[in-house]
Amino acid sequence: MRRIAALIAMLLPLAALPARAEVTLAVSCGSVGVEARLCREGAEAWARETGNRVTMVSTPASASERLALYQQLLAARSPDIDVLQIDAVWPGMLAAHLADLSDRLDQAARDAQFPAMIANNTVEGRLVGMPWFTAAGVLYYRRDLLEKYGRPVPESWADLAETARHIMAAERAAGDTRLWGFVFQARAYEGLTANALEWVNSHGGGTIVGEDGAVTIDNPRAAAAIGEAAGWIGTIAPQGVLNYAEEEARAVFQPGQAIFMRNWPYAWPLLNAPDSPVHGRVGVAVLPRGTGEGGRHSATLGGEQLAVSRYSRHPAEAAALVVYLTSREEQKRRAVEGGLNPTYRDLYEDRAVLDANPFFGPLLDTFRNAVPRPAAATGTRYNQVSAAFRNAVHNVLSRRAEPADALRLLEARLHRIGRDGQW
Amino acid sequence: MSRRLKRQIGRVLFVLLMVAIAIYTVFPFAWAIITSLKSGSALFTASPLPIPPAWDNYVATFRDRPFGRNILNSVIVSGSVVALSLALGLSAAYALGRASFRGRGFLLATILAVSMFPQVAVLSGLFELIRWLGLYNNLLSLVFSYLIFTLPFTVWVLTTFMKELPKELEEAAMMDGASPFIVLIRVFLPIMGPAMATTGLLAFIAAWNEFLFALTFTLTDEMRTVPVAIALISGASSFELPWGRIMAASVIVTVPLILLVLVFQRRIVAGLTAGAVKG
Amino acid sequence: MVTRGPVGLSAVAQDRRRAAFWFLLPMVVAVLLVAGWPLFRTAWFSLTDARLDEAAPGAFVGVENYALLLRDPEWWNAVRNTLVFAIVSVTIETVLGMIIALALNEKMRGRGALRAAMLIPWAIPTVVSAQMWGWMLHDQAGVVNAALLGLGLIDQPIAWTADPDLALWAVVAVDVWKTTPFMALLILAALQLLPGEIYEAAEIDGLGPVGRFFRITLPLIRPALMVAIIFRALDALRVFDLMYVLSGNSAATASMSVYARQQLVEFQDLGFGSAAAMGLFAIVAICTVLLVTLGRVRLGGAEDAR
């Protein structure tokens, strides 16, 4: 059986003929809605072309529950799922269970992709996930309010806080007592890690753990960044933001109760739906940069990849399906129909893609230069690093610790978790 | 203050308390119904009335997924678990509650200890066991694994009730030469009615609502149970929460349980025990 | 445990004892089959450094995991959170459940409706109800704040689940809402088994309703009440979904189960996570022993049964 599969794997690239033997692949990608529909359509199109069959496996929408399920299945070497969609921070954690797809991505295609995505998905020289769509943190703002008060889109975090304070004070005085300045994700979950990494990195404070595995978080710039964010709570951001994930933040921004929101690109079509109160009044911009030396714009890299399970009974077909689903044509279709950010650079100049998603063009640099979380360097320990980091940040935000103290303790903790840089 | 007035005030306070409890328990469900009739941006507002009501959430629940099948799965699983636990539990309770033998306390303590582990700690062990038995992605795996929490509960509750029953009950029957099995079926089963109905109902709902095992031990949509099916309803993109639909599905699955309660009402508060125990 | 009674047991008693074995067997086999292996496995892994994401089986490390656990302040914080949560919520649930059960036991109008209404919270899947409350408690868009603001009880929206001190109480409120029906139903079943003539006698003795409750009802239903409390306490001490959904994985508000799950699932640390699960088990066991002792629950001695 295995030998036949290997034979097919060898023959497939040579002759572009559909595989003779019909196989059934279990594919686990998005959930219901646009994402699932696009994935199913793509997979079924491949099945028709090649004469194989696909079944879709639905998984929980919550990323952490999906990860737990995958880990359970993979730890048991279960062949029940062949192709799985994995999050930006999972390659390091799941690498041991995933097949190497390096030889499935030719040099030309590799060069045309965002390098950050390829780097993110390469673990010890093996490409364990094929980039499928990307995402990065962006700043949503109320265009109408900024225009009304003659304010530009904030360039730095300090500008953002100042603008927010100004507009909030004026609007509240005018009777809109429930308006807030800025909402983001500060609940103690993976989203806070993504948010806080943006603050730290935009101040030139590094990426928690460097690419070489050295712990770098205990530095004055990182402390300044987190201290600045703590100053927002209760002034321009409601106290409740400490328990907001993506949707809770949108629940404040969409009814028009906030001026700025940090979120992922998924919110764009929803904010502009016909029944949305802020329909047509929202702009998207790159996140502000930090003040001081080394300040820059940074956005945390998100997005999803497709991977092939090592325990798949049909690895060759599974890899072929992954190649098909992540191809340029398929990514274009998904961008136009579902607003999912492609990972091919040239698609950001494509007319059809830009017509559907006008903000893709101006934000190309944001997506291309997005900062990955330190998942590759920390490997299987990433979740521990992320939990320690977000708990430290959450303690500062809820005023139960000073930034410098929290980061000193965090650094010591990370050294312990990472066994002094070996990970 | 006259005694009569005091009584009156007491009555009013009691009624007020009952009303408060009713609001506390029912309001969230009412809110779920209201939410299930909202869609899009209306979900993010706390407005009390969905105008116009969006029935689409209910239609979509059955259209996009085999939700009817999921309900059937849940009924099969919870029903079998309860039947099995009650049968095993009643028989064990009869021994534990009516006979005395060495090590009984130890046995009861051990059974209770099974309920002391967090669910997540037994998850991977059960997962191995289920794969080994070849029950993965099969409803039997759920019937099997749910026993871990329904069985200790039923055994303990039934044993307690069994112990409380007067001794004379079975002695008469025993004198007539009835075997223990006959005594259990003829004498105790009818008396234990309310206790069995209550225990069964509580166990049924616990099984009906179980999520973690159901998520881990089944894979395809056709094998999912209701809580998992609801949790798997998701929005158009990865972060979006289709709140209206989730609520619609919750309302749909809660209604059968309420009907079940109404059907079991009689049994739960059956007045027959008092007469039977009198002896 | 020593079996009491005369040496020459009656034939009935001996018969019964032999029968007892066969009546117990199916249940014991079922429990062993379902729980034996998983529990043994957890106990064993707690003594190794096994990880779920590594193929190699863990090496035996003795009690190292336990030593680490006992030194982790986050664990003790989780223990404290859980104990506070369990004590407060079970107490409220018991009192409230008792009141509801007594009310439902009376012959009054609307009893059927109240009984069905009361069961609703218990019947909604926790995955859903926890999220539902999360949204109802949302500080800006939630209906709870909207209602309180509308009634003029507060003048600023309250961040129920964001403030670590408040979050625990929010979780208690939701748990009370969800599981009071469980208590009420079990107590109601116990009340139903009480013979009516006891009350008739009490009436003649001139006991008032309060006296009747404390002198007659409570002592009689105590065994059943204790079992209900024990099972509720077991559940409360293992609380997971509610904490997880309402206040996330924040170390400040985590319960013991949240902590154990994070180690086991999120960090894939099978050895240490199993040790945390065993730690949880030990604490639950201690609490149960306390409850059994203080509540004078008799594990043995059928002869004492009336």
**Homologous superfamily of the C84-238 domain (CATH):** MetI-like (1.10.3720.10)
A331–B contact, CB cutoff 8 A: no
C235–A contact, CB cutoff 8 A: no
Nearest chain C residue to A393 by CA distance is C250
Phi, psi of C140, rounded to the nearest 5 degrees: -100, -40
Instruction: Choose from A223-227, B37-41, B59-63, C132-136 the range with maximum mean pLDDT.
Output: A223-227
Burial class (CB in 10 A: 0-12, 13-18, 19+), C25: middle
- The answer to whether B154 and B229 have CB atoms below 8 angstroms apart is no
DSSP C300: S
- Nearest Cα of chain A lies from the Cα of B192 at a distance, in angstroms, of 41
Are A295 and A354 within one domain?
no
DSSP A130: E
A280–B contact, CB cutoff 8 A: no
C102–A contact, CB cutoff 8 A: no
pLDDT at C306: 36
Per-chain mean pLDDT for chain C: 82
- Nearest Cα of chain A lies from the Cα of C142 at a distance, in angstroms, of 10
Q: Do C266 and A248 touch (CB under 8 A)?
A: no
pLDDT at B238: 55
Which member of B107, B115, B164 has the closest CB to residue C223? B164
Phi, psi of A305, rounded to the nearest 5 degrees: -125, 165
Average pLDDT over residues C141-151: 84
Are A294 and A318 within one domain?
no
β-strands A282-285, A130-133 pairing? unpaired
CATH number for the domain that contains residue A311: 3.40.190.10
Q: Is residue A207 part of a domain?
A: yes
Give the residue with greater pLDDT, A241 vs B245.
A241
Nearest chain B residue to A75 by CA distance is B124
All residues of chain A having their beta carbon less than 8 Å from the beta carbon of residue B238 are: 30-31, 35, 61, 63, 266, 304
Are A276 and A159 within one domain?
yes
Domain assignment of residue A252, given as a range: 138-300+375-417
CA distance readout (Å), C155 to A73, A259, B44, B160, C201:
50, 22, 21, 50, 55
Q: Do B91 and C38 touch (CB under 8 A)?
A: no
Residues 352-381 of A with CB under 8 A from C: 380-381
Assign C10 a pLDDT band (cuts: 50, 70, 90): low
pLDDT at B1: 58
Whether residue C87 has pLDDT greater than 50: yes
Alpha carbons A88 and A74: distance in angstroms, whole number: 18
Whether residue C206 has pLDDT greater than 90: no
Least confident of A87-101, C180-194, C241-255: C241-255
Q: Do C167 and A243 touch (CB under 8 A)?
A: yes
Give C152's contacts (C-beta < 8 A, 6+ positions apart).
none
Domains in chain B: how many in total? 1
List, for residues B124-179, the tens digit of each pLDDT value.
Answer: 888 888 888 888 888 999 999 999 999 999 999 899 888 877 777 777 777 777 77
Whether residue B239 has pLDDT greater than 70: no
Are A279 and A179 within one domain?
yes
Are A279 and A196 within one domain?
yes
Which member of C53, C141, C250 has the closest CB to residue A188? C250
Q: Which of B6, B233, B261, B265 to mutate to test the interface with C (most CBs of C within 10 A)?
A: B261
C306–B contact, CB cutoff 8 A: yes
C249–A contact, CB cutoff 8 A: yes
Q: Do A255 and B45 touch (CB under 8 A)?
A: yes
| Residue for token pair 């295995």 | A2
Are A39 and A95 within one domain?
yes
CATH number for the domain that contains residue B208: 1.10.3720.10
Are A129 and A142 within one domain?
no
Q: Is residue B148 part of a domain?
A: yes
- Nearest Cα of chain C lies from the Cα of B236 at a distance, in angstroms, of 19
Q: Do C159 and A242 touch (CB under 8 A)?
A: yes
Whole-number percent of chain C with pLDDT over 90: 18
Give the residue with greater pLDDT, A162 vs C16.
A162
Q: Is residue B45 part of a domain?
A: no
Q: Is residue A423 part of a domain?
A: no
Which member of B100, B198, B226 has the closest CB to residue C301? B100
Q: Is the complex ipTM more than 0.90?
A: no
C115–A contact, CB cutoff 8 A: no
pLDDT at B267: 63
The 10 Å CB-count burial string (b at 16+, else e) for A262-300 is bbbbbbbbbbeeeebebeebbebbbbbbbbeeebebbbb
List, for residues C269-279, the tens digit of each pLDDT value.
Answer: 888 999 999 99
Q: Is residue B6 part of a domain?
A: no
Q: How many pairs of residues across A and B have Cβ atoms under 8 Å apart?
A: 97
pLDDT at B269: 55
- Nearest Cα of chain C lies from the Cα of A388 at a distance, in angstroms, of 9
All residues of chain C having their beta carbon less than 8 Å from the beta carbon of residue B252 are: none
Are A126 and A142 within one domain?
no
Which member of B151, B254, B258 has the closest CB to residue C31? B151
Give C18's contacts (C-beta < 8 A, 6+ positions apart).
none
Are A343 and A310 within one domain?
yes
C-alpha dihedral, A359 to A362 to A364 to A365, nearest 10°: -140
pLDDT at A4: 52
How many helices (H) does chain B have, and how many strands (E)? 14, 0
| Residue for token pair 């993506």 | A246
Per-residue pLDDT of chain A (423 residues; tens, 9 = 90+): 445 555 444 444 444 444 456 889 999 886 656 777 889 899 999 999 999 999 988 877 777 778 888 988 888 888 889 999 999 999 988 988 999 999 998 888 889 999 888 888 988 889 999 999 999 999 999 999 999 999 999 999 999 999 999 999 999 999 888 899 999 999 988 999 999 999 999 999 999 998 888 999 999 999 999 999 999 999 999 998 998 988 889 989 998 999 999 999 888 888 888 888 999 999 999 999 998 888 899 999 998 999 999 999 999 999 999 999 999 999 999 998 888 899 999 999 999 999 888 888 888 888 888 999 998 888 888 999 999 999 999 999 999 899 999 999 999 999 988 877 677
Give the residue with greater pLDDT, A235 vs C104.
A235
All residues of chain B having their beta carbon less than 8 Å from the beta carbon of residue C288 are: 112, 116
Q: Which of B202, B230, B278 to mutate to test the interface with C (most CBs of C within 10 A)?
A: B202
- Neighbouring chains of C at 3+ CB pairs under 8 Å are A, B
Give the residue with greater pLDDT, B51 vs A386.
A386
Which member of A250, A264, A273 has the closest CB to residue B40? A273
Q: Do B105 and C1 touch (CB under 8 A)?
A: yes
Domain assignment of residue B206, given as a range: 66-232
A391–C contact, CB cutoff 8 A: yes
Are A12 and A64 within one domain?
yes
- Nearest Cα of chain C lies from the Cα of A274 at a distance, in angstroms, of 20
Q: Is residue B211 part of a domain?
A: yes
- The answer to whether A253 and A261 have CB atoms below 8 angstroms apart is yes
pLDDT at B44: 67
User: Which of helix, strand or coil describes residue A85?
Assistant: strand
Give the residue with greater pLDDT, A54 vs C250.
A54
Whether residue C118 has pLDDT greater than 80: no
Are A96 and A165 within one domain?
no
Per-chain mean pLDDT for chain B: 81
Q: Do C265 and A255 touch (CB under 8 A)?
A: no
Enumerate the domain spans of chain C.
84-238
Average pLDDT over residues C223-243: 88
Average pLDDT over residues B65-78: 90
pLDDT at C264: 85
Give the residue with greater pLDDT, A180 vs B121.
A180
